[in-house]
Chain A
């Protein structure tokens, strides 16, 4: 982004100092950084970009994950950045593509939100990463520290509180950067690495078909192991997309966790996608003497996809 000169009309339509989203930042962190840079109280920027009729308190709840209460175009305008950069601070685009529906809801990702932070990320760059909203992630993959959800004074951390400074405890005023830096449990972090890989897979390649395939795979795997741990819903994600129970049971958080529990990886999901005959056979060693066999061509295509995933 170029500089804004005082003669540029954008001077008066942008905040005094403007902040730009950091790579992989979460929108809530962008709002707080803007508050802090402008010497405003926590939630001042949020209040300015709330959609009419929306409540500021919604941003301390699930709405932070899918910020439907925020006017993203307005936020982009006051920060002088492209709307796409603001959208990239949410999982809106990814969820819409994965569920094949522009009207996404936070419950498609998670049924609840535990707000927690990595004190080291705050100390380094006043950054709240987007992955903080992902269910079952309890450690910072960069700093390998346990995420902290409550202050040393005992109060739960709150994203926005009108009487506090940004990035501080609303009760005692402690800066979140000084919260305890606790080493993470290696076993737990390894498991979370698998979960993050699965999330990344669905964010980058997710489509309703892939989602359906993943659900079928989970269902078949559970049936095969004869250990039904959870009821599995309809596999057509668009059929009943407005029902709340569907959103909870089909939430990506639930799905990713189930894949991990069943020891299934993104490779397995890819392999399972589509109407292919090797669903219940060792498809990787499938051979056919017919030189124009369509299944051999499909296998080749699938292997190439798997190689791409392995490289990422």
Chain B
């Protein structure tokens, strides 16, 4: 134990980690990009889909140069909220290329196709695709059809990334409808893997992540041994409250919350390793006391005043 008052405050490291889930998820995105295939990709909320997409985009080497060349092979957006028509999706897609002057929707619509062809777009990823409506999906089909046709002749990969729960995969029912548009959409989906569910972490994968956490927090916890708590952590995080579908898989969000809260608590007590008490109390908070209502009564601690020397 060290004196908690003598230590700087606990620092959370929340940068992207290439976990087993991300390897599976990004592998699927990469495959869609390489083979220009269409997929509906589902994963549990909190799995790390959005972070994975952001990292994937970062790795896609999109760039603009002074010679007027813009290279944007992967175009990733979040689906427009609150419905709207094709305009809403167009307004979400177009600023991904950069700043645009004001222009009518009619002009922007055709500009978007040219910009995607010019930028060498090969794959479109739409996060939160469960929020897409029929008008959005029809517009997506229009864009990709126009790009696939001459003069562009550019087939595009499409990943509709959705959050799911239980056995229901969003959009699956929509694409099963008999309308011509949906049949056309369904036909474009990949033959082998049209609807995919990317699974969370197994116990072994949780162990690997905990060991990675040990390295990340080593400077604040010289004696940190999180790996030895893999079994209880896996059991807590697959509790029916956190894993209602009984998948026996752990999401990154749950795992990160459990670890960081436990580490913070242990740190504030002056520990140099995580304590079992901190882990247990956090797990209880996340499972048994998850819906507990907390009464906020007292006043928050006053903010420290910054004192500056006046010369």
Q: Which residues of A contact B (CB under 8 A)?
A: 1, 3-7, 11-20, 37-41, 44-45, 47-48, 78, 80-81
A159 to B66, CA, bound (A): 24
Q: Which of A3, A37, A38 contacts B63 (CB 8 A)?
A: A3
Expressed in whole angstroms, the Cα–Cα distance for A4 and B61 within the complex equals 10
**Interface hub of B63, B101, B103, B115 (most chain A Cβ within 10 A):** B101
With contact pairs A6-B58, A40-B103, A48-B101 given, residues A14 and B64 touching in the complex (Cβ less than 8 Å): yes
Shortest A197–chain B CB gap in Å is 32
* In the assembled complex, B114 has its CB within 8 A of some CB on chain A: yes
Residues of A within 8 A of B69 (CB): 17
Establish whether residues A40 and B62, one from each chain, have CB atoms under 8 Å apart when the complex forms.
no
Q: Are A14 and B98 in contact (CB under 8 A)?
A: yes
Asked whether A11 lies within 8 Å of B101 as measured between CB atoms, the reply is no
Q: Tell me if B66 and A12 are in contact (CB < 8 A).
A: no
**What B residues does A81 contact at CB under 8 A?**
66
Against A, the Cβ 8 Å flags (1 = close, 0 = not) of B48-74 are 000000000110111111111110100
Of the candidates B62, B68, B95, B97, which one forms a contact with A37 in the assembled complex, judged by CB atoms under 8 Å apart? B68
A172–B99 alpha-carbon span in the complex (Å): 31
CB of B111 within 8 A of CB of A18, answer no
Task: Give CA–CA (A52, B85) in the complex, Å.
Answer: 32
Q: How far is the CB of B154 from chain A (nearest CB, A)?
A: 16
The one of A6, A17, A45, A48 that contacts B62, using a Cβ cutoff of 8 Å: A6
Q: B interface vs A, CB < 8 Å? A: 57-58, 60-70, 72, 95, 97-103, 107, 111, 114-115, 118-119
Minimum CB–CB distance from B149 to chain A (whole Å) comes to 18
Determine if A5 and B111 form an interchain contact, defined as CB atoms under 8 angstroms apart: no
CB distance from B128 to the nearest CB of A (A): 20
Cα–Cα, bound, A13→B66 (Å): 15
Minimum distance in angstroms from A202 CB to a CB of chain B? 31
- Excluding A16-B98, A38-B115, A41-B107, 4 further A-B contacts by CB distance (< 8 Å) are A4-B63, A11-B64, A14-B99, A15-B99
Residues in B whose Cβ lies below 8 Å from that of A78: 99
- Distance A45 CA – B58 CA, assembled complex (angstroms): 29
Chain A residues within an 8 Å CB radius of B101:
40, 44-45, 47-48
17 A-B pairs with CB atoms under 8 Å apart are A3-B65, A11-B64, A12-B95, A13-B98, A14-B98, A15-B98, A16-B119, A17-B68, A18-B64, A19-B68, A20-B68, A38-B111, A38-B115, A39-B114, A44-B101, A45-B101, A47-B101
For A4, give its contact among B64, B115, B119 (CB under 8 Å): B64
A6 touches B115 (CB 8 A): no
Closest A-B pairs by Cβ, 8 of them? A16-B97, A6-B62, A48-B101, A1-B66, A3-B63, A4-B64, A16-B98, A17-B70
Q: Which residues of A contact B58 (CB under 8 A)?
A: 6-7
